[in-house]
Amino acid sequence: MKDNLIIAVIAISVVVTLVSSISYGINRHEKSECKKWQWQATQYSGYYLTKWQADQCAHYQIKIEAPIAPTF
């Protein structure tokens, strides 16, 4: 019984660590994308964002000086 409890605690710890690591990695990648788009907006005339890009960057409070493309 005690061994099963130890195995369960270890398994839960591994799953929580894995999920946390994936979430952290996704957040870093999304922030990196926003920084790239922020730079591109300063380099290319006519640069625009899609709504999902604008929403993603707003989530991380990264301001990008580019218009948002209209949706049809």
Q: Is 57 exposed, middle or buried (0-12, 13-18, 19+ CB in 10 A)?
A: buried
Quick: pLDDT tens for 44-63.
999 999 999 999 999 999 99
Return the domain boundaries, the chain. 2-59
Beta bridge partners of 68: 49
CB-count burial class (<10 Å; 0-12, 13-18, 19+) for 50: exposed
Q: Which residue from 45, 51, 49, 44 is spatially nearest to 64, judged by alpha carbons?
A: 49
Q: Tens digits of per-residue pLDDT, 3-18? A: 999 999 999 999 999 9
pTM (predicted TM-score)? 0.82
